[in-house]
């Protein structure tokens, strides 16, 4: 009986690189389109951060969703041809795309130092591309399953589940609306398991298309169910993060956490660094640190979202009534009523003095 022999093609990394770049362009754009859709939905109904799902009726949000799906599909195919340690860090390009588009469409000002952040992201990505290991395709889903049930990866998976449960059950009700690390942390940590499952499914599809069908293997369907479950959780908490916090903050933090956990998971499961020299591994790590530095610079040089700032003054309890002088008269306002423009400007100015 003939067996499938895995091969390492020098063109595989190039294909993965090009697909990852295309994916970043679409995903970076989708952040902005979805944010615009969430703003529209929030203006006419319950916000996603408050548990509302009105954004599902907003066409603009669906356009952003379709854009993200196209980007994620490109990303999915990229994982078939290249290791996660190459594909995932290239997501930094999506931050550059979202930063530029947010400057024009969301009025989240990108200052001059932001250009330095973009350059650092490009330099770091280049370092990783030049030193990334080649992709080694397993011979079957059974082989991937053996990698998934090795003790070290099972320990990682158990840790991920425990941390996510703690964040969802304890931290989210208390700190979800004030600490960005809660929503983004859940999304990023779960995302590392999503990538591992997606990569397994992609390899199964590739092997099937080459004549070595993996459909009859139950492991293929297990990986598929895990991927679907993780993606649903990711989308839910990514929507909450985008609706609650500034895109300029969400994008870099999500990238840094998601990439870190994904690289860590891939190194454990697929042993990406096996056979690489210490200098190559060091160069990849330096490239990743350079990208992280770029994201920090991008974050620190962006002004806060004006909509998010104004919402800070609307967070009082709806049961409380307030009395404010306006144009010499005293008037009564409940917190659910809209703030007058002249008082809104005075309140914002006083807040920062």
| Length of the chain as a residue count | 353
> Token pair of 181, please?
């690390």
Residues ≥6 apart with Cβ < 8 Å to 213: 207
CA distance 8 to 87: 16
For residue range 320-349, list pLDDT tens digits in order.
334 334 444 444 444 444 444 444 444 444
Prediction pTM value: 0.68
Q: Which helix (H) or strand (E) holds 180?
A: helix 180-209
> Token pair of 18, please?
């090009």
Q: What is the mean pLDDT of residues 175-180?
A: 91
CA distance 101 to 146: 43
Q: What is the mean pLDDT of residues 16-42?
A: 88
Q: What is the pLDDT of residue 316?
A: 33
CA distance 201 to 196: 9
Which of 40-44, 111-115, 131-135, 238-242 has the highest average model confidence (pLDDT)?
Answer: 238-242
Is residue 232's pLDDT more than 90? yes
CA distance 281 to 292: 17
Whose structure tokens read 């992280």?
Answer: 292
CA distance 326 to 346: 10
> Token pair of 158, please?
């158990």
Give the model's confidence band at 305: pLDDT under 50 very low, under 70 low, under 90 confident, else very high: very low
Is-contact 223 142, C-beta < 8 A?
A: no
Give the model's confidence band at 196: pLDDT under 50 very low, under 70 low, under 90 confident, else very high: very high
CA distance 270 to 64: 32
Which sign, positive or negative, has the C-alpha torsion 332, 334, 337, 339?
A: positive
Strands 329-334 and 321-326: antiparallel
For residue range 247-294, list pLDDT tens digits in order.
767 877 887 888 889 989 988 998 888 778 889 889 989 988 898 888
How buried is residue 209: exposed, middle or buried, by Cβ count under 10 Å (0-12/13-18/19+)? exposed
Q: What is the pLDDT of residue 234?
A: 92
Considering the chain, what is the average pLDDT of its residues? 79
């Amino acid at each position: 009986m003939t067996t499938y022999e895995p091969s390492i093609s020098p063109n595989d990394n190039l294909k993965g690189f090009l697909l990852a770049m295309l994916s970043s362009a679409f995903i970076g754009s989708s952040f902005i389109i979805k944010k615009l859709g969430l703003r529209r939905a929030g203006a006419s109904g319950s916000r996603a951060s408050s548990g509302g799902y009105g954004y599902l009726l907003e066409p603009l949000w669906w356009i952003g969703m379709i854009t993200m799906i196209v980007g994620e599909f490109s990303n999915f195919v990229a994982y078939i041809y290249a290791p996660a340690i190459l594909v995932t860090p290239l997501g930094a390009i999506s931050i550059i795309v979202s930063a530029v588009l947010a400057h024009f469409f969301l009025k989240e000002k990108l200052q001059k130092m932001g250009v330095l952040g973009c350059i650092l992201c490009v330099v770091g990505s280049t370092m990783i591309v030049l030193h990334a290991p080649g992709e080694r395709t397993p011979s079957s889903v059974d082989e991937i399953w053996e990698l998934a049930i090795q003790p070290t990866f099972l320990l990682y998976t158990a840790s991920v589940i425990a941390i996510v449960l703690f964040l969802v059950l304890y931290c989210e009700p208390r700190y979800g609306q004030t600490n960005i690390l809660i929503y983004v942390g859940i999304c990023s940590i779960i995302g590392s398991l999503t990538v591992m499952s997606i990569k397994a499914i992609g390899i199964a599809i590739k092997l099937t298309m080459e004549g070595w069908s993996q459909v009859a293997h139950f492991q293929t369907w297990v990986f598929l169910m895990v991927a679907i479950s993780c993606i649903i959780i990711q989308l839910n908490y990514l929507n909450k993060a985008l609706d609650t916090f500034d895109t300029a903050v969400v994008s870099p933090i999500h990238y840094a956490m998601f990439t870190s956990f994904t690289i860590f998971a891939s190194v454990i499961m697929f042993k990406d660094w096996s056979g690489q020299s210490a200098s190559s591994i060091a160069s990849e790590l330096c490239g990743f640190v350079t990208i992280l530095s770029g994201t920090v610079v991008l974050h620190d040089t962006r002004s806060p979202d004006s909509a998010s700032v104004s919402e800070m003054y609307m967070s009082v309890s709806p049961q409380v009534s307030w009395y404010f002088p306006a144009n010499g008269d005293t008037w009564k306002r409940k917190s659910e009523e809209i703030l007058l423009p002249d008082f809104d400007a005075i309140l914002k100015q006083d807040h920062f003095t």
